[in-house]
Amino acid sequence: MDRPLHIVVLSGAGISAESGLPTFRGNGGLWEGHSVYEVATPEAWERDPEMVLRFYNMRRQGVRRVKPNAAHLALAELDKRCSVSIITQNVDDLHERAGSNDILHLHGEIMKARSTADASLVIDLNKNDIKIGDQCELGSQLRPHIVWFGEDVPMIGRAAEIAAMADVFIVVGTSLAVYPAAGLLQVVPDSVPIYIVNPEQSGYQFGPNVRFIEKTACEGIPEVVAEIRSMIDT
């Protein structure tokens, strides 16, 4: 192969959970007694934007307290030997902090805010949070740069293009129960090897090119990376 091996990774909440970030599914879908649907939908924003901002400010502060784990770091290390594209369902910046370079966030980025008047106006929050009264350059309230339940996933088309160009496809930290992200496996070429790293096997049915690794992200991803590196070196 004249070009670098193209590794495409689909990552989900499980990889971030191993850094200490709680997941919606892991705590019964509740936050301070509220269903996530009360704080993560356009309707919630219309009804009580202050509560929504408080929810995401707390989540953002949690992201700032944790660090990339062995799985994030192994994928970043692989980026030095291959072309690695990460498609993540996570809104945190742990892949970026680990050192990966090509990351597509399907569900938005919690470390950014965007205009409520123009979704293309996105700003980095750096060490800040969002408060009622914080405005974009158009004078409109800022909201979290997050794809809420009930909203379209604008990056799914680009993600499908990336998945279709994979030489190796890795799934980590996701149950493959959330669409449209789970549908990305349907566009991966039939000849491409697929690794699924998850302590619990999904009920998803795949062909002979799929290898299930029933381990945590921190255990399984370094193993997959080592195997890929051995493929490159032979």
Among residues 175, 166, 124, 171, which one has the least CA distance to residue 145?
A: 124
For residue 87, the cross-strand partners are 10, 104
Annotated catalytic residue, options 72, 95, 105, 107: 107
Mutual angle of helices 70-78 and 217-233, in 10-degree steps: 20
> Residue 155 class from Cβ within 10 Å (0-12 exposed, 13-18 middle, 19+ buried)?
middle
Enumerate helices (H) and strands (E) in the chain, giving the number of each: 7, 11
The reply to whether 34 belongs to the active site is no
Backbone angles phi, psi at 8, to 5 degrees: -115, 130
Q: Which residues are catalytic?
A: 107
